[in-house]
Chains A and B, each alone.
Chain A
Amino acid sequence: DGGITQSPKYLFRKEGQNVTLSCEQNLNHDAMYWYRQDPGQGLRLIYYSQIVNDFQKGDIAEGYSVSREKKESFPLTVTSAQKNPTAFYLCASNPDRRDRDYGYTFGSGTRLTVV
């Protein structure tokens, strides 16, 4: 079945460490996104990529970095510069076609906790 796989499901990080969250999709979607969700709140966009080797900052990109070397993969690195990284991280994708509109497909998320 096609979908988005995020790993790991739970991740613990010590302060000052960088960690990388994995996002892989086999939907052949062009666009991929990273969102962050804090308890009781909606989602906020961190980064997005519409094509391979290109990505753009979202609303809260500070302290995060991404790469898009392959169409299927869009890993997110949470750096030590991110002051409050404890959150639920969601990856999403969509075909990003202009001829019609499509819904987004989301992964099941990674819950990151700083200890």
Chain B
Amino acid sequence: DAKTTQPPSMDCAEGRAANLPCNHSTISGNEYVYWYRQIHSQGPQYIIHGLKNNETNEMASLIITEDRKSSTLILPHATLRDTAVYYCIVRGARDYKLSFGAGTTVTVRA
């Protein structure tokens, strides 16, 4: 069963920030929030993950609310190559698998 809820789709203008929301209201204390993306007909690509602190890497930033019931992935300057399906996943450190839902289809427009 999916532990996260994401909007099915969103558009973003090239060069602008893309903010992708994710609800995970049943998250438990030892579960991480992961983000992956999948460009058409390719394998998913790891973006970022976090437990409770905000995280940033060269690809994106992850903002997790204080109660950890929701999070936002931020792509700071979206490009056409960022068009993909983005998956928000909740996983415990000792879980053996990732549970993928339908994700958010992000379309970056010129």
Contacts and interface: CB of A to CB of B under 8 A. Distances in A.
Contact of B32 (A43, A50, A101, A107): A101
B46 A42 contact: no
B101 interface: yes
A106 B44 contact: yes
B46 A103 contact: yes
B44 A58 contact: no
Contacts of B2: 42
Contacts of B45: 106
A109 B102 contact: no
B100 A109 contact: no
Contacts of B100: 35, 42-44
Given A101-B49, A107-B43, A42 B87 contact: yes
Interface in B18-44: 32, 34, 36, 41-44
A79 B103 CA distance: 30
B97 interface: yes
Nearest to A50: B96
Interface of B: 2, 32, 34, 36, 41-46, 49, 87, 93-94, 96-98, 100-103
